[in-house]
Amino acid sequence: MLRLDDPTYIYREADDRLYQFLQASDPGESISWVLGGPHSGKSSLMARTAKRLATEGAICFQVGLKPSENPVSESLLYFSLFQIISEQAKLAERGLWQDFLDFAPGLKFQELFQSGLIPAIGAKKLVIFLDRIELLVDWQLLSSLLATLDSLCAQSATSRDAARAQLKFVLLGTVKPSQLLADANREHFNFAYGRLTPIGVSPASQAAGAATQTKPFRATDTGTEMLPANRALGKNITLRKNQILLAPVVGDRRSSDNSPESLGESLGESLGELSKSDRLLLARLAEVSPQSEELLEEILFWTGRQPFLTQFLCDLAISHVKIANGNVRDLRELVKIQILENWPQQERLASHFQRIENGFASGELSVLDLYLEILEHPEGVKYSDRNWQHMDLLASGLVAKQANYLHIANNIYRQVFAQQWVKKTKKRIKQARDNMADQKVYNRDVFMLIDRSGSMTLRDATTAGKKRWEYLQETVQGHVDEILSEEDEDYGIICDEITLYFFNRNQVPAKTIYLRDAEQVQSAFKENKPGGATYLAPALMEAISQWFANRTDDKRAFIIIYTDGQIDDSKELVNAIGKACSQIDNQDEIKILTIGIGSEIQVEKTIEFYLDLDYNASQFKSKKGEDCNIFVFDLIDDVMDEGIVAALERQLEGDPKKGLANWIKERYPNLAGKYFNS
């Protein structure tokens, strides 16, 4: 963060927009977001806005979160926040926290805030800035804090006491827009006083006094953009004036010529048109070059006016370069050696690049695919305010919006985060996901749904001449034993109990059986004789409903279905799968593994029905609007060969193609072409 009096600070439209929001008296607008990539000026904006408001009589508290080696509990978060705010307010908080021992942490914070802090402030405006909120995501405490802040704002807005403080919160950080939008779909994020509601999307903006055409020495806004609508999530969600996205904004020129020479042709600026920060940079560069304008032009060619990179390269030039004749080749060589080839040895630069890369480490591959597309197309990719991948990429800082097209933000990023970086990053993400599959199989609620239709009494070659019912009993008993016995030194067990339903009629199963030992399977089969039709949907919906109703600690689920053919309620089954997807954030939260038994289910038409549900994940959408691949199909003997736990682990692959069984290629070449080559 720059010093408060740093003359090189670039005054941006974001300064005015945040200030105007905090000055507004609308009680329905009490929570503001400022999002952006690493080193995009969020903390400096916070400090300067707080100082500006303080000179007008407002009370401003600035709280910066810090990484912790140990887990941060809800109680520790609220206690620390109250302690820091109390210290800044010079409020005697000692002992107050212990006065509310019976209160939940969030409620305790609210009570102390209302009874202690608000009366001490009086009728003044109170603004609390909370920086680095991305840490709340890591600690899984973002939803809790937002619900608490919303409640505080609601109480403040509905109070009739004229002597009460006017309350505002500003949350800053590198949180991805998609993370906020996903959380906004949750019921307790439907804020009364900080709600995400539709407004018009403002265009990319520039600082006051700047011309529409952005040129290298103009005092342009290095990145103020309203976070746009995202209807791809299935809801009309738009961040309004209280949500600000800091992202690089480049000029309106659509030229694909990024050479310094072409930039020089567009200069033509006199010193009278330069911003204050540009004048100071020029004065510093004049110490090493009589042609400081050309040198600054070269710096901006590389940095695209990104604040951190511009300061870094300017410092590098002053400390390393002596250009007697104004030749910028020395600077280009410096960029090549010190930045492009040896940036890992530059501690500040390496930290900056690493923070950008970390933002992609746990993200979606589709965002990297979009970035690669922009890298490979100089004309850019047309920006859509309904595409969350566009929003996330813009917030990362790697791209900028120019004339409603996304382009690489600057030439340093273009060289450092090039095609090879994309390839390596995608590989690391895929490897991490493969490793995570082993972990994600544990701590699950497990349901088994068993087909007891009349056809289960048939004998055929695929069941070694036994009745399917007898063959299935032996298989299920083995699967139950394997699941209940599975234990990992690091991750614990899959579950200690399996919920069992038998299905045949078009109604919810009358009985629920709880298996804690594999020996219970035999008696369960004896008590439920085969007969009737094959209605699966009621039993599946009951299992899903019970899981949602009794789910604790975000525990995930496996639903294992055993059947011997085409079901009688296929449409209802599809609807049940779609409904389940719409209630979850991530496709790994629940997996439905359907295991086929007998010869009838191996008819190609029947196989195709189940594989369509397995492979065509795009027909189902999660709460975030993403493809939701939760249905999986396999054959009983093939599952026996690898084991039920290994089969479940395979279904946690991010790519549906990897989850498909190899027997499809061997026995159904026509279907293999459809699913593996598409």
Count CB-CB contacts under 10 A for residue 201.
Answer: 14
Taking 50 as the threshold, does the pLDDT of residue 568 lie above it? Answer: yes
d(Cα 379, Cα 392) in Å, to the nearest integer? Answer: 20
Mean pLDDT of 630-642: 88
Which residues have CB under 8 Å from 374's CB, separation 6+?
380, 381, 393, 399, 406, 407, 408
Judge whether 634 and 667 are in contact, CB under 8 Å. no
pLDDT digits (tens, 9 = 90+) for 259-302: 433 333 333 333 345 666 677 788 888 877 787 888 888 998 99
DSSP 8-state symbol, 340:
I
**pLDDT band per the 50, 70, 90 thresholds, residue 520:** very high
Compute and round to an integer the Cα radius of gyration of the chain: 30
Give the pair of three-digit tokens for residue 567: 């079901």
Q: Give how far the C-alpha of residue 52 lies from the chain's centroid of Cα atoms, to the nearest Å.
A: 33
- For residue 358, the model assigns a pLDDT of 87
Task: Tell me which of 184 and 471 has the higher pLDDT.
Answer: 471
Range ranked top by mean pLDDT from 240-249, 566-575, 644-653:
566-575
Split at pLDDT 50, 70, 90, the class of 483 is very high
Phi, psi dihedral angles at 166 (to 5 degrees): -85, 120
DSSP string, 294-332: HHHHHHHHHHTT-HHHHHHHHHHHHHH---TT--THHHH
Give the best-scoring range by mean pLDDT among 300-309, 325-334, 525-534.
525-534
Please name the amino acid found at residue 388: W
In Å, what is the CA distance from 243 to each residue of 18, 45, 185, 235? 9, 14, 17, 18
Q: Is residue 351 scored above 50 in pLDDT?
A: yes
Q: Is the model's pTM score more than 0.85?
A: no
Confidence tier at 472 by pLDDT (50, 70, 90)? very high
Tell which residue, 297, 268, 303, has the closest CA to residue 285.
297
- pLDDT per residue over 73-107, tens digit each? 888 898 888 888 888 887 765 556 666 666 788 88
Q: Dig out the tokens for 42 from the structure.
A: 């969020």
pLDDT at 129 exceeding the cut of 90: yes
* Sequence-ordered list of residues with C-beta below 8 angstroms from that of 480, at least 6 positions apart, any chain: 448, 498, 515, 518, 520, 521
Alpha-carbon gap, residue 320 to 313, rounded angstroms:
10
Residue labelled with tokens 């508290």 = 61
What is the set of domains in the chain, with CATH numbers? 13-246 (3.40.50.300), 259-322 (no CATH), 441-676 (3.40.50.410)
CA distances from 181 to 306, 421, 585, 634 (A): 26, 28, 11, 35
The pLDDT value recorded for residue 675 is 66
- In the structure encoding, which two tokens stand for residue 312, read together? 């870094």
Tokens, residue 377: 């197309």
Distance CA 89, CA 80 (A): 14
Residue 551 CB-density burial (10 A; 0-12 exposed, 13-18 middle, 19+ buried): middle
The pLDDT value given to residue 227: 31
Residue 620: which residues within 8 A CB-CB, separation 6 or more? 577, 578, 581, 627, 628, 629, 630, 631
| CA pair distance 281, 304, nearest whole angstrom | 15
Can you give the pLDDT at residue 10? 62
Token pair of 127 as six digits: 């603004």
pLDDT tens digits, residue range 18-65? 888 888 877 667 888 787 777 777 888 888 899 999 998 888 999 988
Whether the pLDDT of residue 205 is over 70: the answer is: no
Q: What is the pLDDT of residue 209?
A: 24
Q: Specify the residue for token string 């199989």.
A: 441
- Please report the pLDDT score of residue 234 as a whole number: 29
> Given this model, what pLDDT does residue 556 score?
92
Q: Which of 666, 668, 655, 661 has the alpha carbon at shortest distance from 640?
A: 661
pLDDT in tens, 1-14: 556 566 556 666 67
Residue 573 tokens read as 């089954």
Mutual orientation of helices 347-361 and 388-396 as an angle, nearest 10°? Answer: 170
Percent of the chain with pLDDT over 90: 29
The residue with tokens 């920060």 is: 277
Q: Rounded to an integer, what distance in angstroms lies between the CA atom of residue 453 and that of residue 533?
A: 5
